[in-house]
Structure 1
């Protein structure tokens, strides 16, 4: 891709978009690679991010925004039954992880050193899950435990799927819906 000496538009967003494309392509995420895809000099990312970690934080932030939007759409489009809504939401969670594996992994890795902005958008995602768990909780204390259990089940299930355990693995997870029903059983 030819490099331009002047970038029109929002260079920071162009670098984030380039980083997302690198992740989607399975190529390693580097400042140089993002700059090359964005069509700018290799030094350009230094003006917008504090190294590769800064770019990763920005990409993770964008990833959580996309994730939040997917979850909100799935929850809103589900039938007006609490279990069906929660199941639809968590299926959207699993589908996002499947579609965007490198981004999904980066998003949760970035939470280890998250900025306040990144934590805020990740918290919005968790809040969507909490709203969908609320009909199954007896009280506030039970709600916190239930939300944690549903999130642990769903996130763990996503990672098991991403790790693609083979047929000779010592454990093959049952269908997700069966596990969610077992968890929510009184």
Structure 2
């Protein structure tokens, strides 16, 4: 009776969204290996055949979950940026905090979006606004791009720093967190490297 009631509660796009939510919940609980079409269907309260109408197998479900994950990731960085120091350098540090926060709060989803996700949800050509997660990063880096420098150089510096730190943190490389808002006493000292963003490139260009 309950299953029949649940099946009737989903309509059109609602079922697709419900399956994606179910997949994220399963990821949170058991990691990537626990994610299957049958488990998602059971969690959403629908027939095991239902996912076939919305996804091209497990790979399609994973890609859809990754797309939703990138949207959540983007929103986390925007929220961190908007509630932090509003100076240009404050934006970058806040963005990095949001980046690490998302990774710590959603380790399996964080791993999924960068291992199988449609990377154009993060990486994209220059475009206005915060259309994607990469758009958030690009906007924060823009004030520090020296004249004549490819913006991607600065963006990659910042991205590499926080992405590498996040992965090392999740792997337990730094040992246990001290419970602070920044998760680990190494966070701020390492992010201090951002103080010189664009400066070395500008100096090197002037010396040529």
The Cα offsets for residues 150-177 of structure 1, whole Å up to 9 and x where unpaired, read as 101111111001111265xxxxx97233
Which moves more between the two structures, 174-183 or 132-141?
Answer: 174-183
Which position in structure 1 is the counterpart of 2:170? Answer: 162
Equivalent position SS for 2:8: coil
Paired position in structure 2 for 1:101? 107
Alignment of 1:89 onto 2:95: yes
Where structure 1 has 5 or more consecutive residues not aligned to the other structure, the ranges are 168-172
Q: What's 1:73 paired with?
A: 79
Give the TM-score taking structure 1 as reference length.
Answer: 0.85
Distance 1:96 1:132, change over 3 A: same
- Could you tell me which of 188, 197, 204 is aligned with 1:177? 188
Question: Which runs of no fewer than 5 residues in structure 2 stay unpaired?
Answer: 125-131, 176-183, 200-208
For residues 4 and 51 of structure 2, the distance between their equivalents in structure 1, rounded to whole angstroms, comes to: 14
Equivalent in the alignment of 2:203: none
Hey, what's the Cα distance between the residues in 2 that align with 1:60 and 1:109? 9
* Counterpart-to-counterpart distance in 2, 1:59 and 1:181: 34
Written as runs of structure 1 = structure 2, the 5 A alignment for 1:1-186 is 2-4=2-4, 6-9=7-10, 10-26=14-30, 28-111=34-117, 114=118, 119-120=120-121, 123=124, 124-165=132-173, 175-185=186-196, 186=199
Question: Aligned partners of 2:123, 2:4: CA distance in 1, in Å?
Answer: 35
TM-score (norm 2): 0.76
- Matched-pair contact (CA < 8 Å) for 1:61–1:121: no
Deviates more, 1:142-151 or 1:89-98: 142-151
Structure 1 runs of 4+ with >4 Å offset: none
